[in-house]
Each structure stands twice: as structure tokens, then as C-alpha cells.
Amino acid sequence: MQSRLFNIDTALLTSRCVVRRFREGEGEAAYHLLSENRSHLEDHFSGLIESVGNPEEAEVFLRRRIAGWLLQEEYAFGIWLTESSELIGYVHLFEIDWHTPKAEINYFIDREQTQQGLMTEVLARVVRFAFKQLELEKISLQVLSDNYPSQRLARRIGFQREGMLRNEFKRSGGQLVDLMRFGFARDTYGE
């Protein structure tokens, strides 16, 4: 464990959202978000959708993310609208290698909240957190090759395409698809 990380921010503010660590008891809100977006997410987050079939399983999932945060193994954030306090999304820094240091990131937002620039401001804020507070040197992102909105978002934030991974991901229907890999190096980050 790294003592310098004991007092990092657990809530990040954007102009319209609070991006914060999950708390115990928020499984119901997470389950609702996943349920409302099941068809939207099943091709991108099939493992998550399969593992969270009811509010209790969502609570278990969140408590594991909380434990991972405390153990400095991962950092999972809920995205909450400032005006309504509604949970509208999820951002996750995971597969952290403290030796390099580097991490993977994934995210999603409620389909009703897309095309409003919310994920752009949230992802930019989480990238800043990763580089400035966690002091990561690199963040990687894998996106389905046909997920053009997420590819545009990654580029808008500063990620660069690093390659294509052939037949790397299996969709819920069993089809193997390609993933595009993006990376963002700290030395290219200009605040």
C-alpha cells in the first residue's frame, strides 16, 4: 500500500456531475441504472450484466469495488447528476500496475444522457485524477471496433489509437469482435 494515496479525493466535480466513490447501500441505484440500460450495455459489459441480476448482486458488486479502492487495486466511480443526484453512469480504473504505473479504464453512461457532453467532462476529470493524484504514467482503453462514439470520445480527451486486437471480445450473442486499443501517456497530458 502507498500511504500517499490514503487521502486522495473520493469525489470529483465537473460542471454538471459529481463523480465519486460508491458507498455502501447504493446497490439499488446501480441495479436500476444497469436494468434501464441492459440492452445498451450487454454487448459492451456482458460480464457485468450477467453478474448483476438483482439489487443484492449489485450491492455485492459495489462493495467489491469499494474494497478494491481501499486496497488501492482499482478505483470505481459513480457518475451522479448534480441537479437531481441521480446515478447516470460508471467509470472504472482497474488492472492497475503500480510498478509502471499504469491502468485500464472503462466507462458507460445512461443512454438517456448520451450526446450531451457529460461523459466528455467526466472522463477528462477522471483522467486528471489518474495523472495528478494517482500519478499514473499511462491509461489504456479498449473499445469495440464498431463503437464509434466511444472512439471519438477517447480521441477528444487525448487518447491515441495504439492498435487493433482481433477477435478479442465475445458479444453476448457469441460473436467474436475486434477491439481497438487506445492509450494516453502522462507525458502527453497538457492540463
Domain boundaries, the chain: 11-188
pLDDT reading at 43 higher than 80 = no
- The alpha carbon of 44 is separated from its chain's Cα centroid by a whole number of angstroms, namely 12
Pick the residue with more confidence: 50 or 140? 140
What was the pLDDT predicted at 37? 86
The predicted model gives 122-130 an average pLDDT of 97
pLDDT-derived band at 1 (thresholds 50, 70, 90) equals confident
For residues 106-119, b (16+ Cβ closer than 10 Å) or e, as one string? bbbbbeebeeeebb
Tell me the three cell numbers of residue 15. 460542471
Would you say residue 42 has pLDDT above 80? Answer: no
Which fold does the domain 11-188 belong to in CATH? Aminopeptidase (3.40.630)
HEC states along 23-45? Answer: CCCCHHHHHHHHHHCHHHHCCCC
φ and ψ of 24, to 5 deg = -60, 145
| pLDDT at residue number 98 | 97
Average pLDDT for 3-24: 95
Residue 134 burial (10 A CB sphere; 0-12, 13-18, 19+):
buried
Judged against a pLDDT cut of 90, whether residue 9 lies above it is answered with yes
Whole-prediction pTM value? 0.92
- 115 Cα distance to chain centroid: 17
| CB proximity list for 110: less than 8 A, separation 6 or greater | 33, 36, 37, 88, 89
Mean pLDDT of 78-97: 95
